[in-house]
Structure 1
Amino acid sequence: MHDLGPAAHEMTRLVTGVRDDQLSDPTPCPAYTLGDLLQHVRVLAEAFTVAARKEQPAAGSEPPPPGDASLLPADWRGEIGGWLDQLVDAWADPAAWSGTTWIAGFEAPAQAVGITATNELVTHGWDVARASGQQLTLDDAALAPSKEFVAMMSGPGSDQMRGDAFGPALPVPAGASLLDEVIAGNGRDPDWSAG
């Protein structure tokens, strides 16, 4: 069990810092504009909250649809922040980390789902920061679950697990920061910039 609060609160800060005129800007996710990415963050915050509560949606757990900026509500900053707060509260319950739960169309160990949720917040927080000209600020303790996630996804036979969601892990130079290691492990170029 770990605290999703630092990564979620940093995501909220970054989302709040996005200007309306940036929603059509590119992101490190080649298929997503910044608006598409923000809508994806809103959906994943809800999905991982439901997973922490061990609730299976009435229609069943399904992989999320691609992010779509046209689906952002008028108060997207407030709504995303609200779901991120619920996410933190839900994963603060020790019961969220035990047994199994449902996410993205399958049942999985709750511990792994919680680690994945943190990695989503860290990686997409970095995406939002880079795309909007902000800086992601997390200490090594907040990045530790993402490092664990990258290790899970980088072992022998992990290509199928990476699927289309993650590019191949990229090399980083000796002495790279933990954040750069995590970002490269998620298949992103730590030197990416919008311009």
Structure 2
Amino acid sequence: MIDLKPACHRMIEILAGVDDARLADPTPCADYSVGDLIDHVDVVADGFTALALRKYSESADREPSAANLAPGWRDVVAEHLRALGAAWDDPAAWEGGTDVGGGLELANDVWGKITLTEIVVHGWDLAKATGRPADMPEEAVRRCFDHVATFVPNAPVPALWGPAVEVPADAPLIDRVVAITGRTP
């Protein structure tokens, strides 16, 4: 079990500093602008909360877009991130397995690690895109690295990440995490 709350809290802090004028800016996550990526984080938070609670999430079918960000989006996304951390705080969330459709069934402990990866990596993406420090919690980054180092090269859906980028073995751990997921630190 991993405590997702510190990474969720840091993501909330990063989002609080995003100026609406930056929503159309590009991010290191090539398919998304800042606004699109924020909406993706919201979809992820809502969807993975539902997964942990073994419920259905309607937002899981929503295509992430800055156009979905209504006034007050910071508060809405923050609420979803707090709920995400709380849902995965229950040891039962980490047990068993879940099929998310299309025949993609993974153990819930893997889904929990994927959830952490989404928060850590996209937190870094948003921080980089908006000129803010990522400063993800050290334990979260370490647990994320442990996951991506083995999971990403063997992922059941490899197209979700770009080719790994080489970084020195002594690079900061967050740089090594994002490099594995195809980003240039």
User: Which residue is equivalent to 1:107?
Assistant: 105
User: Which residue, out of 83, 88, 96, partners 1:86?
Assistant: 83
Bigger proportion of residues as helix: 2
Give % identity: 39
Please tell me whether the aligned partners of residues 150 and 185 of structure 1 are also in contact (alpha carbons under 8 angstroms). yes
User: Which residue is equivalent to 2:39?
Assistant: 39
User: Which residue is equivalent to 2:15?
Assistant: 15
What residue ranges of structure 2 are gaps of 5+ in the alignment?
A: none
Cα deviation 1:66-119 (Å, max 9, x = unaligned): 421111121110000000000011000010001112446533210000000000
User: Which residue is equivalent to 1:48?
Assistant: 48
Q: Distance in 1 between matches of 2:35 and 2:139?
A: 29
Q: Distance in 2 between matches of 1:176 and 1:75?
A: 37
Runs of 4+ in 1 over 3 A off after TM superposition: 102-106
- SS at 2:156's partner residue? helix
Q: 1:13 to 1:149 in 2, by over 3 A?
A: same
Please tell me whether the aligned partners of residues 101 and 107 of structure 1 are also in contact (alpha carbons under 8 angstroms). yes
User: Which residue, out of 65, 68, 89, partners 2:65?
Assistant: 68
What TM-score, normalized to structure 2? 0.92
Letter in 1 for 2:38: L
**Residue 132 of structure 2 corresponds to residue 134 of structure 1:** yes
Q: Distance in 1 between matches of 2:101 and 2:19?
A: 30
What TM-score, normalized to structure 1? 0.87
**Residue 182 of structure 2 corresponds to residue 187 of structure 1:** yes
What residue ranges of structure 1 are gaps of 5+ in the alignment?
A: 191-195
